[in-house]
Amino acid sequence: ESAAVIAKLLIPRVFERMTMQETRLLVSTGSAMNLYTKGEDIILEHNYIGILLEGTLKAENQNNIVPPGVLLPSSMDLELLGLQSSGSAHHPSRSES
């Protein structure tokens, strides 16, 4: 439930044409919850979006990412999501909690 709300709020262009019920259904049926330990690599596959609900992530050479957060694969075209690239990698590499 939290992931659906966060996804709808943080990346609205992806979910703007979906009702909340459709968003919940998509997130619940197409999702997996993963738990990571400190220092473990996180790899997002092409066409996958990660939702950070708890903990903190440290991306290589980047600031910490704190919840709520959306994690995008580095290959994703941010303009399609209505987002702007900061010129840095959007791919977290190590979990901190």
> What are the DSSP calls for 15-31, one per residue?
HTTS-HHHHHHHHHHS-
**Whole-number pLDDT of residue 8:** 86
Asked if residue 7 has pLDDT above 60, the reply is yes
| 8/76: higher pLDDT | 8
Would you say the pTM of this structure is higher than 0.85? Answer: no
Q: How many domains does the chain have?
A: 1
Residue whose structure tokens are 């990660």: 50
**Whole-number pLDDT of residue 71:** 81
- The model's pLDDT over 38-96, given as tens digits with 9 standing for 90+, comes to 888 888 777 788 888 888 888 777 788 888 888 877 666 656 555 555 444 444 444 55
Q: Of 24, 71, 77, whose CA–CA distance to 50 is shortest? A: 71
User: What domain range is 47 assigned to?
Assistant: 2-95
